[in-house]
Amino acid sequence: MVYHAQYVAFLERARTEWLRFRGHGQQQMRDDLDLVFAVRAMQLEFLRPARLDDLLAVTVDIRSCRRASVVFAQSIRRGEELLLTAQVRVAVLSASSFRPKPAPAALYEEFKSLEVPA
């Protein structure tokens, strides 16, 4: 079976690829916007185990977006079977100071438009 901590890595990778798909690579945001995201809180519900070699699908949706934080709703599925649900709150931080920083207006508006209510 897949070790429970590995699910956190799956969720992180999915958020990274979700950002990259939307044109917001993490290095580019760091270099161009002095911006990074840091996980502030996670809530995980382990519903069913995954096994080695399972083909898993990880979803990413924005539940809510504020100027300096984003809450992602994520899930992991094997086919139609729901294995895990997660809520991940990330803080928007300055890459140089690691202090909270409001997201640039364009990024905030984009994320706000992607909110999916619970």
Amino acid 1: pLDDT: 87
Note whether residue 81 is domain-resident. Answer: yes
Which range of residues forms the domain containing residue 61? 4-113
Tokens, residue 30: 């760091």
Note whether residue 118 is domain-resident. Answer: no
**HSE on the CB side for 5, CA within 13 Å?**
0
Question: What does the buried/exposed string (b/e) look like for 14-40 if buried means 16 or more CB atoms within 10 Å of the residue's CB?
Answer: bbeebbeeeebeeeebeeebebbbeee
Note whether residue 91 is domain-resident. Answer: yes
- Coil, strand or helix: which one is 20? helix
Mean pLDDT by 10 residues, the chain (118 residues): 93 97 95 97 97 96 97 98 98 97 96 93
- Number of separate domains in the chain: 1
For 52, list phi and psi in degrees, rounded to 5.
-55, 140
**Domain CATH code at residue 38:** 3.10.129.10
Note whether residue 60 is domain-resident. Answer: yes
Note whether residue 15 is domain-resident. Answer: yes
Note whether residue 53 is domain-resident. Answer: yes
